A and B are shown apart, each in its own frame.
Chain A
Amino acid sequence: MTSITDSPVARRIRERSSTARRSGPRLRQQVIPQIFLILITIACLAPVAWAVLSSFKAAPEIIRNPLSFDPTTLTLANYTAMFQDVPIGRGFMNTAIVLVIKGTITLFFAPLAAFAFAKYEFVAKNLIFGAVLITLMLPQIVLIIPLLLEMKELGWVNTFPALILPGAIDAFAIFWMRQVIAAVPNELLDSGRIDGCTEFGVFWRVVVPVIRPGLAGLAVLTIMNIYNDFVWPVIVASSDRMATLQVVLSTLAQNITGNRIGADYATVTGELLAAASVALVPLLVLFIALQRHFISGILAGSVKG
């Protein structure tokens, strides 16, 4: 597999380049992108801003006047009610535990498997990669009943293994990392071997540093996917003790969705918005921290041909 930078297109362009002179920032170049990005940012943040601001309004008011905002009548009632009624601390803890363990498993084993697919030939390689593809294409909902029965046999219902192990090595992660690793030049691998690395050493000491931006992206996406996982946790581990954040919120919202037979539609909406606002914070903090740690390293030079 040739790397991107070896493609005929790239080669031709490179041949015609000379030492580049940085052109000074032109106004038009700066302004139009900024406008586009700002518009998108507004679109991204507006609903969230609405949710956060509304969470400080009296609950019936949120429903009656969704667009009103009167700074004089702000209240923390939704938050106090939420902290009383909703096991959100528990939800956070459980989510954190699952994130750390499952995330580590994927971030370690998926690139490893991808490395095997990208850089080795072995018996049944295509067969097993087919397995990866199948996993990717199966709707999650398909396997739920059988998987649940299996969890029961294993005694794992409402336990951490049930939340962590099925799908612990994300097929998507393997798929993506295979692509990223394929672009790593084989010469690098060989020089690692010549230097005396074991095969695993080649992976750990040569490949991993080189694919760091890909890994960073994978880390972010893995975290987001695990965090957002809703269908399976609701079904297999939704006791108060084991509920993850999404489950906690969906339990809360059940009076709103669908039937609205529950009498306290307004209160639940208020609590839901409060819970969502609270749930945002740690994830944002986490992402900001991740940003600085990993992604800033990208500019310093990584996979340059």
Chain B
Amino acid sequence: MASLTRFSSKRRIAPYVFVLPFVVLFLAFSVYPLIFTARLSFTNWRGSGAAQWVGWDNYQYLLTSSQFWSSLGNSGVLWLLIIPVQLVIALLAAVLLDNARLRARGFYRIAFIVPFVMPLVAVAQIWVVVFDTKYGAVNAVLNAFGIPDVGWLTTTTWSKPALALLFIWKTTGFIVIILLSGLQSIDASLYEAAELDGAGRLRRLWSVTVPLLRRTIMFAVVLQTLAVFQMFAEPFVVTQGGPYGSTTTAGYYLYNHITRADLGTGAANSFLLVIIVMALSLVFVRMLRPKD
């Protein structure tokens, strides 16, 4: 950490200048709307005319609404389905891609990016067709192994896994890149030392890579947690929150208020969501913080 000794005035001013652009944009496009939203959350404004003050009514409605809690539950379950799986796959892929001796790594890198590049709207449409219960490709493949049709998008049991698969498919490449960047700052000699000590690949992964990557992994987990709880485009396009609200995530539930012009409740919902998400992020940061 830079110590607080005597500095030139230029050095003292510099950080202010550096963060100024961000601060300006933040004040203009985040703070103002945020204050607006806060006021809105105490009203029942529907987009036109005057708004009526309703106090804590919106918050009360949400906190006692089974739909609100189940939307959080849905996001929670999705989190469990997505984060662990994605982390393992991305870690393995990143480690393998980091290997200078691997052939065709450029090709793999591009392949992993393709899902991210594909427009979500198109992907969603593909998912709808490919995961169709009777005529979809996925069930056709399962049938070949003797597994009967799975109601991917039509049953409450499988709708979340189908959506989780979509999210994993689309965003894992993103995480691979983050992890790769983190990996590339790890000195290669550390691996070789471990190898000489007789550690196998998995052992090296566990004892060398993961600890050193801890900060990066934490970063990725927090990022994806935010994304999962805010997720709304995917349920919006693929399942419209169904079947029976099983894929109504926290973000989608929030969106519903806004599309139904229930802006006061939407604003209250926004704040509740922000609080929850912040709390979760802090938990993860604490949990995964490197011990040094």
Contact = CB atoms under 8 A, between A and B. Distances in A.
Contacts of B111: 40-41, 44-45
Contacts of A10: 187, 190, 212
Contact of A147 (B33, B132, B277, B292): B33
Interface string A1-43: 1101101111001101110110101000110011011001101
A97 interface: no
A298 B219 CA distance: 22
Contact of B223 (A23, A112, A172): A172
A179 B93 contact: no
A246 B37 CA distance: 27
B32 A280 contact: no
Given A176-B219, A199-B10, A17 B189 contact: yes
A263 interface: no
A150 interface: yes
A160 interface: no
Nearest to A111: B18
A163 interface: no
Interface string B127-158: 10110100111001000000000000000000
Contacts of A34: 102-103
A142 B254 contact: yes
Contacts of A122: 12, 15-16
Contact of B232 (A33, A131, A141, A275): A141
A174 B229 CA distance: 21
Interface in B210-240: 211-212, 215-216, 219, 223, 226, 229-230, 232-233, 236-237, 240
A303 B216 contact: no
Contact of B121 (A62, A138, A249): A249
Nearest to B201: A29
B219 to A, nearest CB: 6
B177 interface: yes
Contacts of A51: 118, 122, 126
B137 A67 contact: yes
Contacts of A80: none
Nearest to A42: B111
A180 B169 CA distance: 27
B189 A299 contact: no
A8 B126 contact: no
B26 interface: yes
A136 B174 contact: no
A58 interface: no
Interface string B100-135: 111100111111111111111111111101101001
A78 to B, nearest CB: 13
A156 to B, nearest CB: 11
A129 B74 CA distance: 31
Contacts of B278: 133, 137
A291 interface: yes
A225 to B, nearest CB: 9
B25 A165 contact: yes
A109 B14 contact: no
A217 to B, nearest CB: 4
Most A C-beta atoms less than 10 A away, residue of B25, B36, B117, B130 = B117
Nearest to A108: B21
Interface in A246-294: 246, 249-250, 252-253, 256-258, 269, 272-273, 275-276, 279-280, 283-284, 287-288, 291
Interface in B242-282: 251, 254-255, 258, 263, 266-267, 270, 273-274, 277-278, 281
B184 A45 contact: no
A139 B254 contact: yes
Given A33-B96, A66-B129, 20 more contacts: A33-B102, A37-B97, A41-B111, A50-B130, A113-B22, A115-B18, A131-B22, A139-B274, A147-B33, A176-B178, A176-B219, A180-B185, A186-B2, A213-B185, A214-B185, A252-B121, A257-B121, A257-B124, A257-B237, A273-B125
Interface of B: 1-2, 4, 10-12, 14-16, 18-19, 21-23, 25-26, 28-30, 32-34, 36-37, 40, 47, 89, 92-93, 96-97, 99-103, 106-127, 129-130, 132, 135-137, 140, 169, 173-174, 177-178, 180-181, 184-187, 189-190, 192-197, 201, 208, 211-212, 215-216, 219, 223, 226, 229-230, 232-233, 236-237, 240, 251, 254-255, 258, 263, 266-267, 270, 273-274, 277-278, 281, 290, 292
Closest 10 CB pairs of A and B: A276-B122, A146-B33, A17-B193, A199-B14, A146-B36, A142-B270, A116-B15, A217-B181, A20-B192, A120-B15
6 contacts: A40-B112, A44-B114, A136-B226, A141-B251, A276-B118, A303-B185
